[in-house]
């Protein structure tokens, strides 16, 4: 169970409704847990059915972001919308990423305007500014790259721009850019890591000394509540984007091995050169596209670049404007993750055949 928010992190009690798109997802559930008990009526909107949300007293609306009418119905009567839902991943049909991440966000903005929702907090991604090179201590003034090697960051960047451009006197908006969210219940980062390690396919790209940022899930959720608390039309944070991380960059090798240890797995030792990894990623993408394969290639150009480069971000703006300070350290997060794995008695990720 997540700890109660500190007094500095509390959204003021309200009888109004907070909507979380993607409320049944990893980060969405963490945001709902933070909001619960603070006097908010909670509503979730997502494609799937999540009976566990009802147990938390959450009103769940099932629908697709592509359906403007369904999105508008979910936004009706809300004081704040946390737009968390997105199509994630490094592989898939470009049209699917665009429909979910860009057109879906357009629908959320339109629905907020239609029903007079005053605040919209958008979950973006630090990857929107990733240019394939080392990014060390960069801040929010870093420009978007001119090209992307994956559709997820490309479409998230388009959506972020539209959210921030929508900021105005009737609808205050901001975007949060968490990086590599992890923790108990993680359905993406940790399971992929564990699955590759068990299959013997996990490699470092280079020496693994490139420093990276991560974000423990409860810290990411905290940032969303702080943003909602401070966001108002005309406020200093309105219309801006903020990086959200642990504020504790570490060598990639150390991060991966610490996470593997929570699942009882040995450290990764083998490595390949960045040039070879990128070449294999490009070849794999070409083959998979030619075959029309739906499965994700074993490596892509984007993943090769991410594994080979440093990417950590300056979070002083979030500290200053949102009052954000990570509550859960990297070490404490590892302890919570290991305890969760022991309780569930099933380390994440499919076992190799």
Please say if 242 is a catalytic residue. no
**What pLDDT does residue 293 have?**
87
The CATH number linked to 112 is 3.40.50.720
CA 155 – CA 133 distance, rounded (Å): 20
Residue 43 lies in a domain: yes
Residue 207 lies in a domain: no
Q: Which of 50, 122, 148, 152 is catalytic?
A: 152
CA 175 – CA 163 distance, rounded (Å): 7
* Each residue's pLDDT expressed in tens, for the chain with a length of 353 residues: 334 444 344 444 445 899 999 999 999 999 999 998 677 889 999 998 888 888 888 999 999 999 999 999 999 999 999 999 999 999 999 999 999 999 999 999 999 999 999 999 999 999 999 999 999 999 999 999 999 999 999 999 999 999 999 999 999 999 999 999 999 998 888 888 898 899 888 899 999 999 999 999 999 999 999 999 999 999 999 999 999 999 999 999 999 999 999 999 999 999 999 999 999 999 999 999 999 888 889 899 999 999 999 999 999 999 999 999 999 999 999 999 999 998 886 555 544 33
Residue 350 lies in a domain: no
**What pLDDT does residue 351 have?**
40
Domain count, the chain: 1
Residue 99 lies in a domain: yes
Residue 287 lies in a domain: no
Instruction: List the end-to-end C-alpha distance of the chain, in Å, as a whole number.
Output: 33
Q: In what order do the strands lie in the sheet with 78-83?
A: 58-62, 41-46, 17-21, 78-83, 119-123, 172-178, 241-244
Residue 270 lies in a domain: no
Residue 67 lies in a domain: yes
**What pLDDT does residue 39 have?**
74
CA 85 – CA 102 distance, rounded (Å): 11
Cα angle, residue 254 at apex, residues 135 and 201 outer, rounded to 5°: 95
**What pLDDT does residue 164 have?**
98
Using DSSP's 3-state secondary structure scheme, residue 318 falls into: helix
The runs of H, that is alpha helices, within 115-216 are: 151-165, 189-198
Q: Burial, 78: exposed, middle or buried (Cβ in 10 Å; 0-12, 13-18, 19+)? A: buried
Token pair, residue 97, equals: 């990423």
How many CB atoms are located within 10 Å of the residue 340 CB? 15
**What pLDDT does residue 347 have?**
54
Task: Look up the domain containing 59 and give its range.
Answer: 7-186+214-246+312-327
Residue 296 lies in a domain: no
Token pair, residue 23, equals: 């409320």
Token pair, residue 350, equals: 């499919």
Distances from the Cα of 238 to the Cα of 4, 16, 113, 166, angstroms: 27, 21, 16, 10
Phi, psi for residue 202 in degrees, rounded to 5: -90, 130
**What pLDDT does residue 134 have?**
96
């Amino acid at each position: 169970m997540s700890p109660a928010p500190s007094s500095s992190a509390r959204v003021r009690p309200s009888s109004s409704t907070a909507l979380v798109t993607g409320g049944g997802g990893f980060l969405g559930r963490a945001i709902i847990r933070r909001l619960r008990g603070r006097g908010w009526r909670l509503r979730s909107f997502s494609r799937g059915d999540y009976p566990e949300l009802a147990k938390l007293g959450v009103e769940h609306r099932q629908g697709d972001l592509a359906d403007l009418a369904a999105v508008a119905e979910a936004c009706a009567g809300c004081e704040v919308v946390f737009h968390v839902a997105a199509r994630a991943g490094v592989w898939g049909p470009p049209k699917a990423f665009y429909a979910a991440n860009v057109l879906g966000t357009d629908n959320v903005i339109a629905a907020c305007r239609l029903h007079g929702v005053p605040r919209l907090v958008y979950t973006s991604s630090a990857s929107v500014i990733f240019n394939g090179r080392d990014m060390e201590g960069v801040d929010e003034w870093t420009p978007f790259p001119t090209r992307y090697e994956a559709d997820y960051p490309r479409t998230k960047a388009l959506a972020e721009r539209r959210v921030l451009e929508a900021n105005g006197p009737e609808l205050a908006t901001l975007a949060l850019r968490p990086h590599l969210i992890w923790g108990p219940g993680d359905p993406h980062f940790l399971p992929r890591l564990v699955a590759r390690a068990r299959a013997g396919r996990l490699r470092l790209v280079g020496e693994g000394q490139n420093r990276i940022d991560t974000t423990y899930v409860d810290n990411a959720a905290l940032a969303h509540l702080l943003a909602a608390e401070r966001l108002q039309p005309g406020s200093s944070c309105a219309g801006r984007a903020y990086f959200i991380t642990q504020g504790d960059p570490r060598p990639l090798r150390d991060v991966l091995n610490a996470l593997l240890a929570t699942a009882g797995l040995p450290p990764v030792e083998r490595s390949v050169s960045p040039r070879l990894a990128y070449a294999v990623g490009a070849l794999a993408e070409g083959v998979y596209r030619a075959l029309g394969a739906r499965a994700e290639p074993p490596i892509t150009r984007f993943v090769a670049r991410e594994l080979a480069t440093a990417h950590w971000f300056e979070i002083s703006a979030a500290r200053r404007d949102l009052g954000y300070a990570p509550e859960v350290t990297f070490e404490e997060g590892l302890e919570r993750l290991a305890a969760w794995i022991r309780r569930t008695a099933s380390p994440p990720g499919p076992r190799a055949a």
